[in-house]
């Protein structure tokens, strides 16, 4: 076991997998070095620092700096995947997935199905998402729910360094397009990472805390917030099952329903606006399949139905917080 942060887990996994499989290529804006730096040992490896040293090791054929054109990045990845490569495309800000939706939604997601299973599309798209860094309405959004709604895509959200390695390895070994969401505030999260090959199956949620009083379902940064809420609640003798979904497509329905059947209370924490959100999806799932187990209405902890503000204070007010998760658990417990 090595201790590293999520940034290092991702870059070391990319390095190891590219060594193992020469069909893997990476492409994206500034991924070679960063503004003003040439590729090489001194290069920071993109503004997120997740691809340092790849260019020096694998060269321009496999590590491709692209123009600022998300349509071109995703389109190139889709084509390369069809042609036998395993592309890892980076969207520096997941918000701009919008301009590449045709390539993603109508092409990548559909190839396997529309070509009668005769082709496959092993592309990994890394989307850096999330609020909390004062990056305003166009650079702070969490768009995983939108992609989760598209059949044909797998959607992955690591929250620990071990999962970052395990889930990225799994994505690179599979034959389907994987949307790999990295929260920009979580890169520094440290933890133990298994040495050697480590794969984490998709559709297998992680129990972060266990307890009998409520079920908190979360993904991404909300998992870390859920831990803080859980620890405060535990001090009052309130125990929660905190479920880290790990992947929203496929979804570990069993983990959610088993837990709600035991606790009778559901809280979903989701860093996005409430309408048509992951929170709404999971609340509906539980209402439909565990209705008789519920002791209180499902509680959704989300941002408001508004763009994410730029002002720090307002951004902080927009993002669901540990306090809001804790309040929602207490609300569910107080329901009579």
Partner 1 sequence: MAKLKPFPMPKWGIEMSEGTIAEWLVEENRPFDKGTLLTLIETDKITNEVEAEAPGRFVRIIAKAGETYPVGTLLAVLSDGGEASAAEIDAVVAAFKPADSSFEPDTPVPSPAPVPAPAATPAPPPVPDDVAISPAARARAADAGVDVTGISGSGRGGRITAQDVDQAARAPTEPHLAGPYPLSPGGTAFASPMARRLATLHAVALDEITGTGPRGRIRKADVLARLADAAPPPPAPGEITVTPMSSMRRTIARRLTEAKSTIPHFYVRRRVRADRLLALRAAVQGQRPSVNDYLVKACALALREVPRLNIQVHGTEIHRFASADIAVAVATERGLVTPIVTAADQRSLADISATMAALAQRARAGTLKLEEFTGGSFSLSNLGGFGVEQFDAIINPPQGAILAVGTARPEPIDDDGAIRIVPVLHLSLSCDHRAIDGADAGRFMVALAALIEQPELL
Separation of alpha carbons 298 and 291, rounded Å:
10
Q: Is 190 in a helix, a strand, or coil?
A: strand
* Bridge pairing between strands 2-5 and 190-193: antiparallel
> Could you give the C-alpha distances from 180 to 144, 177, 238, 325, 329, in angstroms and in order?
9, 9, 33, 25, 29
* Sole binder of partner 1 in the list 44, 99, 262, 287 (CB under 8 A): 262
Q: Which stretch binds partner 1 (CB under 8 A): 22-30, 31-39, 139-147, 232-240?
A: 232-240
* Sole binder of partner 1 in the list 102, 197, 284, 335 (CB under 8 A): 335
What is the total residue count of the chain?
336
* Sole binder of partner 1 in the list 19, 102, 197, 210 (CB under 8 A): 210
* Sole binder of partner 1 in the list 147, 255, 308, 319 (CB under 8 A): 255
CB of 238 to partner 1, least distance (A): 6
Separation of alpha carbons 66 and 229, rounded Å:
41
* Class of residue 122 by CB neighbours under 10 A (exposed 0-12, middle 13-18, buried 19+): buried
Q: Which stretch binds partner 1 (CB under 8 A): 9-17, 171-179, 209-217, 270-278?
A: 209-217
> Is residue 315 a contact partner of residue 309, using CB atoms and an 8 Å limit?
yes
52 binds partner 1 (CB under 8 A): no
Q: Structure tokens of 117? A: 């299973």
CB of 93 to partner 1, least distance (A): 32
Q: Is 14 in a helix, a strand, or coil?
A: helix
* Sole binder of partner 1 in the list 231, 284, 317, 323 (CB under 8 A): 231
Instruction: State the CB neighbour count (10 A cutoff) for residue 13.
Output: 22
297 binds partner 1 (CB under 8 A): yes
305 is catalytic: no
State which H helix or E strand residue 3 sits in.
strand 2-5
Instruction: State the CB neighbour count (10 A cutoff) for residue 119.
Output: 13
CB of 138 to partner 1, least distance (A): 28
Neighbour order of strands in the sheet with 86-91: 63-65, 24-28, 86-91, 124-129, 178-183, 154-156, 247-249
235 binds partner 1 (CB under 8 A): yes
Q: Please identify, using beta-carbon distances, which residue of 54 and 243 lies nearer to partner 1.
A: 243
Q: Which stretch binds partner 1 (CB under 8 A): 12-20, 168-176, 177-185, 230-238?
A: 230-238
42 binds partner 1 (CB under 8 A): no
190 binds partner 1 (CB under 8 A): no
Positions annotated as catalytic residues are 139
- Residues forming contacts to partner 1 in the complex (CB under 8 A) are 201, 203-207, 209-213, 230-231, 234-241, 243, 252, 254-255, 258-259, 262-263, 295, 297, 333-336
């Amino acid at each position: 076991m090595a201790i590293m942060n999520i940034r290092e887990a991702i870059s070391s996994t990319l390095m190891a997998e590219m060594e193992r499989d020469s069909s893997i290529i990476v492409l994206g804006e500034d991924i070679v070095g960063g503004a003003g730096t040439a590729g090489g040992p001194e290069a920071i490896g993109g503004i997120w620092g997740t691809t340092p040293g790849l260019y020096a090791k694998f060269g321009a054929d496999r590590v491709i700096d692209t123009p600022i054109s998300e349509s071109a990045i995703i389109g190139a990845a889709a084509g390369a995947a069809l042609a036998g490569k395993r592309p890892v495309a980076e969207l520096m800000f997941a918000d701009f997935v919008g301009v590449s939706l045709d390539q993603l939604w109508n092409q990548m997601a559909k190839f396997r199905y529309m070509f009668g299973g005769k082709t496959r599309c092993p592309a990994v798209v890394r989307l850096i998402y999330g609020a909390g860094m004062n990056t305003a309405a166009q650079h702070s959004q969490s768009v995983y729910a939108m992609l989760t709604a598209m059949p044909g895509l797998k959607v992955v959200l690591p929250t620990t360094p071990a999962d970052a390695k395990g889930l990225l390895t799994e994505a690179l070994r599979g034959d389907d397009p994987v949307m790999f969401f990295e929260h920009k505030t979580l890169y520094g999260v440290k933890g133990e990472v298994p040495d050697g090959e480590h794969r984490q199956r998709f559709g297998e949620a992680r129990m972060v805390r266990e307890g009998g009083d409520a079920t908190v379902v979360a993904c991404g940064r909300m998992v870390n917030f859920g831990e803080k809420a859980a620890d405060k609640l535990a001090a009052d003798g309130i125990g929660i099952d905190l479920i880290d979904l790990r992947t929203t497509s496929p979804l570990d329905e069993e983990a959610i329903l088993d837990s709600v059947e035991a606790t009778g209370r559901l809280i979903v924490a989701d860093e996005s606006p409430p309408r048509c959100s992951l929170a709404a999806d999971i609340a509906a799932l539980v209402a439909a399949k565990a209705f008789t187990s519920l002791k209180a209405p499902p509680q959704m902890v989300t941002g408001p139905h508004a763009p994410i503000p730029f002002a720090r204070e307002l951004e902080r007010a927009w993002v669901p917080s540990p306090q809001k998760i804790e309040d929602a658990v207490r609300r569910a417990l107080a329901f009579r």
